[in-house]
Chains A and B, each alone.
Chain A
Amino acid sequence: MLVIFEGTSQVETTVRAVLADILGLSADRVAAFTPDTPLFGALPELDSMAVASVLTELEDRLGILIEDDEIDGEMLETFGALVTFAAGKALV
């Protein structure tokens, strides 16, 4: 399987779609996310089980592998942090 991404904007689009699909958020709501939008601790839908689902779905859609020891609060603190983390994995 070869997945080619043109850049961060495509990763950002994927992260937005995954948050909408897994957390059941409206398209309008995720479209309004900025890099500073807080996620973990701020979105009641994003509990610890949803964190696992979001990351696994990102793996599937981006064709990346996230090790469990890479998962920490920082990468999920804001929307921007999660996009940066995912882009660092997808754009190699």
Chain B
Amino acid sequence: MMSGLRFDTYDWTGGREAMLRFGPDTGPIVIAALPLFEEANRTRQFACTILRALVGHGIASVLPDFPGTGESEVATVEARLSDQRRAYTDLSQHLGTRSYALSIRSGALLDVDADVAGRWHLAPQTGGNLVRDLERTRATGKSARAPEGEYAGNHVSLDMLDELRGATPRDDGRYRVVRLDTDPRPSDATYAGAPLWRRSEPDNDVVLAQHLADDISYWIASCEG
């Protein structure tokens, strides 16, 4: 069935989380991981636009919540990177051997333990840089007198910060990293566009999403070939 959006759930060792499903019931399937915390809000619509464009290429996908993100019953302050990685790994096993990671920014910290067929990362961010961003947001916003452990409205535990500090994306095996053309760091391809994950007001970029979906589709075909 070639359809648009469906709502679904998945079970992992620690519980059950919700996910959106796009596209056909067969063939390769993309697992989209949004960045953690505030950047998730700024990239969710953009990610859905990429996933809808992938349906046009006949490629299925899921956009899961992870424990402590989205509509999860786990509170943000209870979120642990190790749990999120476990949930990701359990989900990828459930989806089968033709699952591919599509991770945006710090979402790339979640797919490291999963036995996916390949990893495609958009502007991946290390955990160290994420923690630095969180601390800077706190520092520049100190007039608002944010309570201890609160970063731009997100309550983050010290355990989570400790886990994040040393976390890096996995870049071995079938791996492709894509960046915006304003980002000078090494990449396999670059595309023109603004960093929506840092926009002060959430926005979308349909043209960029289409280009990225084309890139992902071509890359998955080369992995499967």
Give the CA-CA distance A47 to B137 in the complex, in Å.
11
B contact face: mostly helix, strand, loop, or mixed? loop
Q: Which residues of A contact B203 (CB under 8 A)?
A: 24
Q: Are B143 and A57 in contact (CB under 8 A)?
A: no
Q: Are B183 and A22 in contact (CB under 8 A)?
A: no
Shortest beta-carbon distance from B150 to chain A in Å: 13
Asked whether A12 is an interface residue with its Cβ less than 8 Å from the other chain, the reply is no
Asked whether A45 is an interface residue with its Cβ less than 8 Å from the other chain, the reply is yes
Asked whether B26 is an interface residue with its Cβ less than 8 Å from the other chain, the reply is no
- In B3-45, the 8 Å CB interface with A consists of 38
- Contact status of A49 and B140, CB under 8 A, knowing A57-B195, A57-B198, A68-B135: yes
Asked whether B152 is an interface residue with its Cβ less than 8 Å from the other chain, the reply is yes
Q: How large is the interface on A (under 10, 10 to 19, 20 to 34, 35 or more residues)?
A: 20 to 34
Asked whether A42 is an interface residue with its Cβ less than 8 Å from the other chain, the reply is no
- Contact status of A68 and B200, CB under 8 A, knowing A3-B184, A49-B152, A52-B141: no
A contact face: mostly helix, strand, loop, or mixed? helix
Q: Which residues of A contact B207 (CB under 8 A)?
A: none
Shortest beta-carbon distance from B162 to chain A in Å: 20
Asked whether B159 is an interface residue with its Cβ less than 8 Å from the other chain, the reply is no
- Contact status of A61 and B183, CB under 8 A, knowing A22-B195, A56-B198: yes
Asked whether A48 is an interface residue with its Cβ less than 8 Å from the other chain, the reply is yes
Asked whether B75 is an interface residue with its Cβ less than 8 Å from the other chain, the reply is no
In chain B, what residue has the closest Cβ to A45?
Answer: B200
Shortest beta-carbon distance from A45 to chain B in Å: 5
Q: Are B195 and A52 in contact (CB under 8 A)?
A: no
Asked whether B97 is an interface residue with its Cβ less than 8 Å from the other chain, the reply is no
Q: Are A51 and B140 in contact (CB under 8 A)?
A: yes
Which among B133, B183, B184 is the interface contact of A52 at CB below 8 angstroms?
Answer: B133
Shortest beta-carbon distance from A61 to chain B in Å: 5
Q: Which residues of A contact B148 (CB under 8 A)?
A: none
Shortest beta-carbon distance from A34 to chain B in Å: 22
In chain B, what residue has the closest Cβ to A44?
Answer: B200
Q: Mark B184-220, 1 if CB is under 8 A from A, else 0.
A: 1110000000110011110100000000000000000
Q: Are B139 and A53 in contact (CB under 8 A)?
A: no
Asked whether B144 is an interface residue with its Cβ less than 8 Å from the other chain, the reply is yes
Give the CA-CA distance A1 to B38 in the complex, in Å.
28
Asked whether A81 is an interface residue with its Cβ less than 8 Å from the other chain, the reply is no
Shortest beta-carbon distance from A26 to chain B in Å: 12
Asked whether A55 is an interface residue with its Cβ less than 8 Å from the other chain, the reply is yes
- Contact status of A24 and B195, CB under 8 A, knowing A48-B140, A49-B137, A55-B136: no
Give the CA-CA distance A53 to B38 in the complex, in Å.
11
Chain B residues with CB under 8 Å of chain A are 38, 132-133, 135-137, 139-141, 143-144, 152, 182-186, 194-195, 198-201, 203
Known: A21-B194, A22-B195, A24-B203. 6 other contacts (CB 8 A): A22-B198, A24-B200, A48-B141, A56-B132, A56-B198, A68-B136
